[in-house]
Structure 1
Amino acid sequence: MIEAEFIAALRRLPLHPGALGLADDAARLGDYVLTTDTLVEGVHFLATDPPEDVAWKLVATNLSDLAAKGARPEGVLLNYPLGENKWDRAFLAGLATALAALDCPLIGGDTVSLPEGAARVLTLTAIGADAAAPTRGGALPGDRLWVTGTIGDAGAGLAIARGADGPVALLAAYRRPRPRVAEGRLLAAHVHAMMDVSDGLLIDAWRMAAASGCAVTIDLARVPLSAEYRATGGDALAAATAGDDYQLLFAAAPDSPPPVPATCVGAFAEGSGLSLTEGDRAVPLPPRLGFEHRA
C-alpha cells in the first residue's frame, strides 16, 4: 500500500471537521493549527547523521508545516524512544539548540524504550496560532505558482552525507533546513494556496493542483538553483524531484506579486494533472515525481 492509498482509506473513518478531509498537512482546532511529523532512521535520516542535526531537522520539518499555514509556533510535543545514552544526550543538546533558535518551546510528550538494534522513530507534534491558514486546495486557473529559496540543495546534501564530494552549504541544507516561518506569516493572507516542499517540487505541485481541481505546468528553466548546487553538475529535473527542501510553494493571482523573495516557476489552468516545459519546449514527466512512502 502506498501513502496515497492509506490516506484515502483514512478518509472513510469518522473525521473531525478540523481534519479538513485529510487534504492538508495541518488540522484546525479552534484558534490553533496542529501538525505532526515523524522521522524514521534509514528513511528520513541516516544512522550516521549527528544526533544534534536529527533533532534540528525534527523540529524544522514540523515548523515548516506551520509556516505553510502562516502560523506562529506556540510549542511542540515530543515522542521519543530512549536508546543509546550517548546518542540520547546529544539529541537533547541539539533539541535545546533548535527550540531556542527557532523560538518554539517544548510543551510535553512521551518517552518509550527502543529495542536494541531497532531503527529510531522520532515524532514531534507542533501547535501554531494566529494563522490565516491557507489550504493547499485553493489555487485558481490563471494563478501563478511560486516557490521561496532554492530547490535541490538538500537532495545534493544527502548525497554528500552518503560520501559524495560537495560543499558544506549543501550538507547543511539536508541536515539543518530552515523553516520559512517569517515568510509564511507574510504570505498567508496574500496567497490562494500554500504548502511546503517536503517530498519534491514536482510531486508537491501536483498535489496542490489535484487538491485545487486544476492543472499545473512547471517550467524547469525557472526552477531556482543555488550556485553550490549548479557546481555539483545537478540539473533542474533532479532538483525538482529530490525533496527535503522545506521551501514554501504557493499559488497567487498573476497581478499580485509576493511580499517576500520568491521565484515564479509555473502556472495553473483549467483541467488536471502536471506538465513540464523547459522554456518553450515540452518535457516528458519523469517516472518518479518525488518521494512517496510505500510498504
Structure 2
Amino acid sequence: MPSIDVAGEFETIRRLFVPLAHPDYARGLMDDVAVLPSRSGFDLVLTKDAIVEGVHFLPNDPLDTVAQKLLRVNLSDLAAKGAEPFGYLLSCHWSERCGWPERGAFAAGLKADQKAFGVSLLGGDTVVTPGPATFTLTALGWVPKGRAVPRSGARPGDLVFVTGYIGDGWLGLQAAQEKLTLETERLIALVDHYRAPEPCLDFSIPVRDMATASVDVSDGLVADLGHIAAASRVGIVIDLEVTPRSLAGQAWFDTRVDEQAALEKLVTGGDDYEIAFTASPRDEAVLRREADRRHVPLTCIGKVTSGQGVTVRFAGQPVEIAAPGFTHG
C-alpha cells in the first residue's frame, strides 16, 4: 500500500505533471488536447510503447527508473528512424503501491530525462487500477520530409550493423533478479542498463543519412532483424562470434563453457535498445568515422542476401534458433 494517500487525478496532474508540460503546446494540461503547429519541410514521426509491472519491469524497480525506461524505449524507436525527439503523451495507470512518494519519483525521473533529451510533456491521462502498474507513452519527433528510415529498404549486398553492445538488457534482468555472480561493479552496470537503457540518439543522423533499413533492438537482435528481413523481403546472415559485448557482458561470457549457447542468449534476450540497420558497403568507411566521432561503438555483424528470414551462423555453420526474441501476447 502507498505510504501517503493520494488526492486524485487532478491533484496528481497539477502537482506532478504541469511542471513537465510544454510551455507553448500543452495548454497547461488544462485542456483535453495539445495543439501542435506543422513544421514546414518535416514529417511528424510517432511511436507508442506500454510497460507493465511484472512484464516489462520488476515490482521492486524504483519508479523514477520505470519512467525513464518508458521514455527511453520510445526515444530509441525515434532514433532508429533518424528522427529528432520533440515531446510525448503519457498515460499512467497507478497501482495500489503508487502513493505520493512513488508518483513523485516517477515525475522526477521524467524531469531528469526531459532535460537530458530535450523533450517535454504534451498531455495524457492518469487513472488508478486494481491491477499492476501500467504506463504508456507516445513519443513525437521530427524528421526531414520523406527521410524517415523504413524497415523495408534493405537490399542484397548491404551490410548489417548494430550500435553499442548486445545482451546487456537480458543480463541486466538476470542481475536485477540476483541470478548472476559477477563483480559488484559489473552487476550495477547491467542493472542500470536494464532499468534505464540509453537510446542511441547520437547516431540517429548517420542512420537517417546512410541506412537503407533500420530497427531498434527491443525484442532481441535476431527477432528485430527478422522484422527488417520480412519487410524488405530479403535474407539476412549474421555471425554470432562478432556479437559486440560490453565489459560486463564479456565478463559474463568468459564464465560460460558453451560459447554458442551463451551468444544465442545475448542475441535473443532483448531490452538492448541499440540500432540495428543495413547500409551499402560504400558507406561503411563514413559510418565508422561518424561512429568514432560520436564515441558510438559500431559493429558489422553480417550481410543482406537474397532469400528470406535471418540465418545465424557460428563457426561458419548455420545454427537453429528456437526462440529469436521476446514475443508479446
TM-score (norm 2): 0.77
Identify the residue that residue 320 of structure 2 maps to in structure 1. 285
Identify the residue that residue 56 of structure 1 maps to in structure 2. 68
Output the CA distance in 1 between the equivalents of 2:189 and 2:153.
34
Output the CA distance in 2 between the equivalents of 1:226 and 1:182.
18
1:254-285 deviation digits (Å, cap 9, x = unpaired): 221123241000111111122111242x1322
Larger radius of gyration: 2
1:225 equivalent to 2:240? Answer no
Partner secondary structure for residue 89 of structure 1: helix
Output the CA distance in 2 between the equivalents of 1:44 and 1:101.
23
Identify the residue that residue 236 of structure 1 maps to in structure 2. 263
What amino acid does structure 1 have at the position aligned with 2:199?
P
User: 8 Å contact 2:167–2:265 — kept in the other structure?
Assistant: yes
**1:135 pairs with one of 133, 147, 150:** 150
Output the CA distance in 2 between the equivalents of 1:120 and 1:148.
32
1:127-176 deviation digits (Å, cap 9, x = unpaired): 00134211011100011100000000111110011113342111111111
Partner secondary structure for residue 139 of structure 1: coil
Output the CA distance in 1 between the equivalents of 2:94 and 2:271.
26
Partner secondary structure for residue 256 of structure 1: helix
1:73 equivalent to 2:93? Answer no
Identify the residue that residue 126 of structure 1 maps to in structure 2. 139
Output the CA distance in 2 between the equivalents of 1:252 and 1:286.
25
What amino acid does structure 1 have at the position aligned with 2:320?
L
What amino acid does structure 1 have at the position aligned with 2:207?
L
1:271 equivalent to 2:307? Answer yes
Task: For residue 227 of structure 1, report the CA deviation from its aligned partner.
Answer: 2.0
Matches of residues 1-295 of structure 1 in structure 2 within 5 Å?
Answer: 31-83=43-95, 84-85=98-99, 86-115=101-130, 118-131=131-144, 132-164=147-179, 165-166=181-182, 167=186, 168-233=188-253, 235-257=262-284, 258=287, 259-260=290-291, 261-280=297-316, 282-294=317-329
Output the CA distance in 1 between the equivalents of 2:233 and 2:143.
28
| Structure 1 gaps, min length 5 | 1-29
- Point out the more displaced range, 127-136 or 52-61: 127-136
Task: For residue 82 of structure 1, report the CA deviation from its aligned partner.
Answer: 3.3
What amino acid does structure 2 have at the position aligned with 1:127?
L
- Point out the more displaced range, 251-260 or 65-74: 251-260
Partner secondary structure for residue 273 of structure 2: coil
What amino acid does structure 1 have at the position aligned with 2:310?
L
User: 8 Å contact 1:55–1:98 — kept in the other structure?
Assistant: no
What amino acid does structure 1 have at the position aligned with 2:74?
N
Identify the residue that residue 25 of structure 2 maps to in structure 1. none
Output the CA distance in 1 between the equivalents of 2:128 and 2:196.
26
Identity of aligned residues (%): 41
Task: For residue 195 of structure 1, report the CA deviation from its aligned partner.
Answer: 0.9
Structure (1/2) with the larger helix percentage: 2
1:208-237 deviation digits (Å, cap 9, x = unpaired): 111100011110011101121121236321
Partner secondary structure for residue 245 of structure 1: coil
User: 8 Å contact 2:85–2:142 — kept in the other structure?
Assistant: yes
Partner secondary structure for residue 250 of structure 1: strand
Partner secondary structure for residue 198 of structure 2: coil
| Structure 2 gaps, min length 5 | 1-41, 257-261, 292-296
How many matched pairs? 262
Partner secondary structure for residue 156 of structure 2: coil
Large movers: runs of 4+ above 2 Å: none
